């Protein structure tokens, strides 16, 4: 399932995939794969992403 909430949160900061990747210590391809729903990130990576985007885990990663 695509993670459009991650993409929207990243876009709200006018942040590229590469910029977010650099901040959380992964490759741009990893961020792309998470947004496309092709990669299930570790909880530590989820937390790092949420901290950078000032969002909760539920706001970005909880599936309804």
- Rounded to two decimals, what is the model's pTM? 0.92
Q: What residues make up the domain containing 35?
A: 4-61
Q: What is the CATH number of the domain that holds 52?
A: 1.10.260.40
- Residue 64 CA to residue 51 CA, distance in Å, equals 21
Statement: residue 56 has pLDDT above 80:
yes
Q: Quick one: pLDDT at residue 12?
A: 96
Statement: residue 64 has pLDDT above 80:
no
Max CA distance (Å), the chain: 29
What's the domain count of the chain? 1
Q: What is the pLDDT of residues 14-39, one digit of tens each?
A: 999 999 999 999 999 999 999 999 99
Q: Quick one: pLDDT at residue 8?
A: 96
SS3 14: coil
């Amino acid at each position: 399932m695509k993670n459009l909430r991650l993409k929207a949160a990243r876009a709200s900061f006018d942040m590229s995939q590469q910029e977010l990747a650099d901040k959380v210590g992964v490759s741009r391809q990893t961020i792309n794969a998470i947004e496309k729903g092709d990669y299930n990130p570790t909880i530590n990576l989820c937390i790092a992403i949420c901290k950078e985007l000032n969002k909760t885990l539920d706001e970005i990663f909880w599936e309804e």
